Amino acid sequence: MSNIQNDIERVLISEKEIEKAVKKIGKQISKDYEGKNLMLVAVLKGSVIFMGDLMRAISVPLNIDFMSVSSYGSGTKTSGVVKIIKDLDHDLSGKDILIVEDILDSGMTLSYLKGILSQRNVASIKIATLLDKPERRVADVHADYFCFTVPDEFVVGYGLDYNQQYRHLPYIGVLKSEIYEK
């Protein structure tokens, strides 16, 4: 097992920067969803830390639920095949859905998810993501709320992983290429 800190090429976004950005979009979401029936839908596992911080930054009533959706497997690039591993536990009828994701990369997963959820009699669907990586976009999907735009580098931390590692890091770091190109 390697030393986690040695696997990081550099810190891209600090813990303090993340905290400030999450509070900022939480305030905007609170304003936009005043008087609405807000339900946050977290896409597991990567969004769990972002979801926890984001929901505490939102001041309007809300409900939460979780989905596990994957298009990656254990690789570093999307497979293009999206599968639902765990579906929602609650009825979405009449709810204003805010999908909470760690990173909007190719857009394949979020495009698929948005399509599936839109068939469930929802009032509205929007996307909040911690990171937006537009250089990799394949599907026509955009975040309604995002904290940071990141370059096309392999990032980990604050919920994002490589091979189920690095999620616990309190910052976003760029993973050294020799780690994932083995």
User: Other C-beta atoms within 10 Å of 41: how many?
Assistant: 26
User: Token pair for residue 144?
Assistant: 């309604």
CA dist 121 to 4, 92, 95, 97, Å?
A: 44, 7, 8, 11
User: Token pair for residue 45?
Assistant: 């596992």
Distance (Å, rounded) from C-alpha 76 to C-alpha 73? 8
Nearest to 63 by CA among 90, 43, 44, 86: 90
Q: Is 105 one of the catalytic residues?
A: yes
User: Token pair for residue 82?
Assistant: 């999206």
Options 53, 102, 105, 132, the catalytic residue: 105
The beta strand positions in 8-150, using DSSP E, are 8-13, 38-44, 62-70, 83-86, 96-104, 124-132, 145-149
Read off the DSSP letter of residue 72.
Answer: -
Active site residues per annotation = 105
